[in-house]
Chain A
Amino acid sequence: MKIGKIVKSDSHINYVCQIFGPREADIQPGPADYAFGRFVRIAVRSERADDPDALLDEALGQSREPVTYAVGVIYDTILQNPAFGALGPRLSNETQVELFSPDYISEKAVLTYIMVLGMMEERAVFGSEPEVLSVMHGVPLLSLELDSEIETMTDEEVRAFHFFSDPAGGPDSQSPYLHMGYIPHIIAQRSSLLPMVTLRIIDQLERLFPQNLSLLSIVKRNFAWRLKVETTG
């Protein structure tokens, strides 16, 4: 589900997304869709040929071309209200404003901060789940573009983003295993909310990978201790 679009970036991996307001999307995203710790993805616009067939395929959702996504997590939300602080006399009430100056209302917005955790490449397969071609955790090479659309990820997609085998050459390149290769760079960021988002991520992964509970508990305990005990104590 598409929830918004990129309106600004703070760095190569931190993006600000404006959530679709009323009438901007088919389905208006609710707060649960852009909740704290939610995994999202952004299609990286590839250099598309101006082939009308391809455009048509894409429009119909039948493209067989691989699509590259940047995968990120929502770690902060800001409610933007230009009217805040303007305490002067009002000429009209809310409904009247909507009626007389629709532009004004659209300046109220929900902004979410997204941190990019990695990339994944998929190819749509007709009539079934898309096929995951590759996954990478860490800083992506390409930056995202303004106005790129942001969509939420399903459990299945989140699972695919975390469970894969190392590219050939690694110690056990054959068997897939649980990855959280973005943790080091989450920690390296200086945002007070990021450790909390890590805990949220782990909670989700615990639900998705019940077989890896004890492995996850090691990271989780470590974070929980640092976050809850050390900062309080």
Chain B
Amino acid sequence: MFEESIIESPAQPAYRRPVGITKGPGEATHEFTFVSRDDQQVLKNGEYVYYELADPETVALNNTTGPIPIRRVLGRVIKRVPVQLYPDTFLGEPEIPPAQVAAMVGYNSRTNELFELHVAIMGYYDATTGSFINPWIPPQSGKQIYLADDAMLAQILSRKQHMDPGSATIGSLLTRTPNAVPIVLSVKDLVSTHMAIIASTGAGKSYLASVVIEELMKAQNKACVLIVDPHGEYGTLDQIANYPQFSEDGDGTGRGYRAQVQVYKPDQVKVRISTLNIGDMRQLLPEMTEKQQYLLSRALRKVHETKRSHPWGVADLKQAIKAVSRQKNDEDSEGADDSSTVHALTWRIEQRFEHSFTFDDTQHLDLPEIFRPGQCTVLQLNEIDERDQQVVVATLLRRLNQARMDTERGKVHSGESYLPYPVFVLLEEAHHFAPGGTEVVSTGILKQVLAEGRKFGIGVGLISQRPGKLDADVLSQCQTQCIMRIVNEIDQKSVAAAIEGVGRDLLDNLPALSKGQVIVAGAAVNTPVICRVRTRYTQHGGESKDAPDLWQQYFNKDTQESRRRSDAPLNGNRGFNLLR
């Protein structure tokens, strides 16, 4: 290819060859078509080409003194139509190639490959604003079309250059050879305006998310990351500590850097009961009667009043329930008896909380411990009931939001809710925490964080395999979208509806993407791109189980031997009993 052409200089290097000639306007106003033989088969769908245009602004100023700068107007190939198709009748005999028929009637088939390519104009790149400016002048018929070279694309597709501070290289441009054109996200935009990773199951969402996390943990970012991991797939990220990519030697003035990974096992994820509000309670104790709810909400208010910001436990809550009911009985002269309600409520609370390993009187996740720059914290929530997971996430987000608000507003200067840095929270299975159609405990706070997170420095990354089941507001709040293979039509529609920035032509590719290929659009890139996700440094934790292999193992020699040994005493016993 023609990589070495120089982007700034309008001078045409000898090796830059045009790939085709403009035919005319396309279907839409921002499209044009050109014709190419495409001998080297480079003009794939999604490939970038450009035509040259005298800078329209300079021309408009009528500034004839200096040379007029030449702009390279970039466009993306959206359709590739062969111009000369064999007639259907030539295709009637499966064992006879149509070229043979053509040869028989005297047509030398080597030259019949001619394509009409439809291109969507993106515009010329303006380095000062980092955006594409549409000149509104499509190429005239007959104008030469060039293939954009790798160096040019590397400069203009991504906001940042590879290894820049605040950059995240998640892979390379799909239409080019691997690593030829790195796709580099701008971490600042990614983190401040939220990100969504949407794809069908198995498309590589968790893999991509892990790649993003790896990039965030590199020395050029040193991010503060929390991963909510309902399937326990992110534990392997702790290998980050072993790789040199995630450390940096001190330069004498400061300490060196080494990324940390903290993995919290499900039994280490604690929620302090005193952080639960009435909504959480309703979720944890479903189907409470109206009376019970009333009693409980009054009791909660009371215990909050008496304890202020000190933690309280189940015992305190039970006491408050008793006190509130007594008080109520005194107020109601009719002497309605609440004792059965009190009894039932207390019993349910005991059942729910006294043996729970998630909900605790005193312990909970310490915010400054789980949120720390240069540290990635993984909260493994597998084994925790789904409703409890929602409460865990809701309470955590509430506390985080409060802490960031208080810190930013200067209300706290130390202690448990002092977080003087922005954080990034990655939420797997986001549709559990903000399902469309219904409201769960985590929906409200998640929406609030998404809406206000930019102000307080809380970035959220949402991952979901069912965009159709995800709350539409939540999805549209994410300004960076990573969309991978989606087969389901409903899901495709909801993605298209929630995401404006991505053209229809790109979304049409969704079912055709393979594993590990992603369309990235939105704030973190200059223009939507199709990217091949790079391989992880750390091992992937979300491998699918190889069932036949596991069944095979069950029957292999060693395991069979050990099983016989462990089964033996039982068999022996039974035999002995039978004999008797």
Are A and B bound to each other?
A: yes
Residue of B87, B95, B105, B110 near A171 (CB, 8 A) is B110
B93 nearest CB neighbor, chain A only: A214
Q: Is B351 an interface residue (CB 8 A)?
A: no
Q: Is A82 an interface residue (CB 8 A)?
A: no
Cross-chain contact B106 with A179 (CB below 8 angstroms): yes
Residue of B93, B106, B110 near A218 (CB, 8 A) is B93
Cross-chain contact B95 with A184 (CB below 8 angstroms): no
Tell me the minimal C-beta distance from A69 to chain B in angstroms.
19
Chain B residues near A137 (CB, 8 Å)?
Answer: 106
Cross-chain contact A214 with B105 (CB below 8 angstroms): no
Segment 85-120 of B: residues with Cβ below 8 Å from A:
87, 89-90, 92-93, 95-96, 100-101, 103-106, 108-110
Q: Is A219 an interface residue (CB 8 A)?
A: yes
Cross-chain contact A215 with B101 (CB below 8 angstroms): yes
Cross-chain contact B104 with A177 (CB below 8 angstroms): yes
Complex Cα gap A35–B451 (Å): 89
A225 nearest CB neighbor, chain B only: B89
A170 nearest CB neighbor, chain B only: B108
Cross-chain contact A181 with B101 (CB below 8 angstroms): no
Q: Is A138 an interface residue (CB 8 A)?
A: yes
Complex Cα gap A116–B104 (Å): 18
**Hey, what's the 0/1 contact readout for A194-233 against B, CB within 8 Å counting as 1?**
0000000000000000000011011101100100000000
Chain B residues near A182 (CB, 8 Å)?
Answer: 106
Cross-chain contact A180 with B96 (CB below 8 angstroms): no
Cross-chain contact A178 with B108 (CB below 8 angstroms): no
Asked if A183 meets B105 with Cβ closer than 8 Å, knowing A171-B110, A215-B100, the reply is yes
Cross-chain contact B93 with A180 (CB below 8 angstroms): no
Tell me the minimal C-beta distance from A161 to chain B in angstroms.
13
Cross-chain contact B108 with A218 (CB below 8 angstroms): no
Residue of A181, A217, A221, A225 near B106 (CB, 8 A) is A181
Chain A residues near B96 (CB, 8 Å)?
Answer: 214-215, 218
A interface, CB within 8 angstroms of B: 137-138, 166, 170-171, 177-184, 214-215, 217-219, 221-222, 225
- Other than the known A137-B106, A180-B104, what 6 A-B pairs have Cβ atoms closer than 8 Å? A177-B103, A179-B104, A181-B106, A184-B106, A217-B92, A221-B92
B interface, CB within 8 angstroms of A: 87, 89-90, 92-93, 95-96, 100-101, 103-106, 108-110
The 7 closest A-B pairs by CB, nearest first: A181-B106, A222-B89, A214-B93, A183-B105, A215-B96, A180-B104, A218-B92
List 13 A–B pairs whose Cβ atoms lie within 8 Å, in order of A's numbering.
Answer: A166-B108, A171-B103, A171-B108, A177-B103, A179-B104, A180-B104, A184-B105, A184-B106, A215-B100, A219-B105, A221-B89, A221-B92, A222-B89
